[in-house]
Structure 1
Amino acid sequence: MRTRAATTTLRGLALASHAGPTVLVTVLAGFFAVGVGSGAGTTALVTAAVLSGQLSVGWSNDWLDARRDRAVERADKPVVAGLVSVRQVHAAALLAAAACVVLSLATGLVAGLVHLVAVASAWSYNAWLKSTVWSWAPYAVSFGLLPLFVVLAAPGDRVAAPWAMAATALLGVGAHVANTLPDLEDDRATGVRGLPHRLGRTGASVLAPAVLVAAVGVVVLGPPGPPTTVAWVGGAVSVALAVSAGVVAVRRTTSRLPFALSMAVAAVCAALLVLAGPDVALAG
């Protein structure tokens, strides 16, 4: 009985962590660290710091949203489904946040503080900003700071190129808008009035792919010199995925496919950032 209960709790915690985005961001941060020349030790530390931060954000989201999720009977949420309790996700979020502080600062004081600002920004979305017109801002800040954290943690006196930070910030905003589309009505019913809710379904369905396409443009055209063939191909694939996300959002209002497609855009763009390698890091 205890083993079954423990298994159920672990499954609930895994689902409450928002596993898809958490794994994607963590893996991409690790590859990005390799791309800017970090050794195995630094790469492992950066990856662990990002993972703990992402886990804390995911768990805090389900902890803080538990009342709203129950009000609209979100059966897809582990807390509502009874797989894990609010107290358990609360404790998990705080433990992950504590680990994030230690792991982030272990990469270096400045790099660690940058990452902690990014994580705190994401928490601010869960705690308050998601219900305001500034709901997009934490995504822009948190994703925009990720390349800076990875480059600062790498060997040498370097900083992330502004174009790389702008690209990841745009990817974050696009993913935010796409992620809200299936839940617009449920969110409104519980008082959540972020930017996508204020724009309405049509406006948000147009904004999400537009921002993602802008991000693709920055990734392809941002590095010095003419874009490579790989960059053009990756950019074309990303644009097609972004446009598809917009079309699906209009035609299938409850589908989560637009968010999955936006994550695919982010994955392709991140791969292009990794391939850009040294161009992403500038001498400090």
Structure 2
Amino acid sequence: MARASHPEPAVTVTALATALAATSGRGPTGCALVAAAVLTGQLSVGWSNDWIDRARDAAADRRDKPLVAGASRPRAVAVAAGWALGLCVPLSLASGPAAGAAHLTCVAAAWAYNLGVKRTVLSWLPYAVAFGLLPAFVTLGLPGRPWPPVWAVTAGALLGVGAHLTNVLPDIDADLAAGVRGLPQRLGRCRTRYLAPVPLFAASTVLVFGPPERSAISNTATLTVTGALAVTTALLPDKGPRGRIPFLTTLALAVTAVSLLLVRGRALV
């Protein structure tokens, strides 16, 4: 059951949201509510993903999937997804109606991706919506219910698109064989590799120049590093001994953008 929940993205997104809540001024109770809401939402998304794709995964003999390997039962995974989603609703609304609505929209976007959007040219859209609204879930739960600045929503959306492209990049061939034809699969491995760094670099640029307080030295260093990573991703081959380097550099770009978003947490309000 733990494996079927997609624990890596669930833990990563929960940690990001909780850290963003802490840096933006949410107290211990507020941070705990954010963590609980995001974790239950992510668990519902992960379990629903494996349940919805169980037939396709079985046809592709995906033995890494618990439902295909027989380690989990479809009914148990479906029930777990339902319970997690049910818990997510009150936990999200505990931060306030506006904040709850923002987070539940994020979860709805992720479910829409699982239910079929991932097989369309708009596969990037749920990621853009979910990551773009994540800062809103944090700030709308603060006193005064402030909406996050435009630069934070924009950077979050760009980070989401970059995360989608980076996440799909290693599995494009397997996805095509399974009949999944989202935007990255339609573009192909080579063009997706060139495209993936673009929204991540753009997110870092927005996070550098968007907030009112800026440091010329740190900004120059950040843009130099992210620019070098983007160029490296585009120039190095994605096959052979160095084949994983482009994937790793896009991950490094994503980590840089996330780090910048956390550093800018205080500027959200």
- What TM-score, normalized to structure 2? 0.90
1:207 aligned residue: 195
Aligned partner letter, 1:122: A
Aligned mates of 2:123, 2:267 — CA distance in 1: 31
Change (3 A) 1:74 1:248: farther
1:132 aligned residue: 120
1:224 aligned residue: 212
Change (3 A) 1:203 1:157: same
The reply on whether 1:104 has 2:86 as its aligned counterpart is no
Q: 2:159 aligns with which of 148, 167, 171?
A: 171
1:192 aligned residue: 180
- 1:136–1:195 contact (8 Å) kept in structure 2: yes
- 1:28–1:267 contact (8 Å) kept in structure 2: no
Unaligned runs of 5+ in 1: 1-12
Query: Secondary structure at 2:201's aligned position in 1?
Result: helix
Change (3 A) 1:258 1:100: farther
Query: Secondary structure at 1:43's aligned position in 2?
Result: helix
- 2:140–2:147 contact (8 Å) kept in structure 1: yes
Aligned partner letter, 2:16: L
Aligned partner letter, 2:202: A
Aligned partner letter, 1:67: A
Range with bigger deviation, 223-232 or 238-247: 238-247
RMSD: 2.3
- 2:166–2:251 contact (8 Å) kept in structure 1: no
1:69 aligned residue: 57
The alpha-carbon deviation at position 239 of structure 1 amounts to 4.5
Q: 1:182 aligns with which of 162, 170, 175?
A: 170
The alpha-carbon deviation at position 163 of structure 1 amounts to 0.8
The alpha-carbon deviation at position 47 of structure 1 amounts to 1.2
Q: 2:44 aligns with which of 48, 56, 61?
A: 56
Aligned partner letter, 1:64: I
The reply on whether 1:117 has 2:105 as its aligned counterpart is yes
Change (3 A) 1:177 1:226: same
Q: 1:93 aligns with which of 55, 61, 81?
A: 81
Query: Secondary structure at 1:159's aligned position in 2?
Result: coil
The alpha-carbon deviation at position 278 of structure 1 amounts to 3.1
1:268 aligned residue: 256
- 1:148–1:159 contact (8 Å) kept in structure 2: yes
Change (3 A) 1:27 1:228: farther
- 2:23–2:262 contact (8 Å) kept in structure 1: yes
The alpha-carbon deviation at position 241 of structure 1 amounts to 4.7
Q: Percent of aligned pairs with the same residue?
A: 50
Aligned partner letter, 1:90: A
Aligned mates of 2:61, 2:246 — CA distance in 1: 22
The alpha-carbon deviation at position 40 of structure 1 amounts to 0.8
Change (3 A) 1:256 1:27: farther
Change (3 A) 1:280 1:125: same
Aligned mates of 1:223, 1:171 — CA distance in 2: 16
- The number of residues matched between the two structures is 268
The alpha-carbon deviation at position 252 of structure 1 amounts to 6.0
The alpha-carbon deviation at position 105 of structure 1 amounts to 0.7
The alpha-carbon deviation at position 146 of structure 1 amounts to 0.2
The alpha-carbon deviation at position 243 of structure 1 amounts to 5.0
Change (3 A) 1:256 1:117: farther
Aligned partner letter, 2:73: S
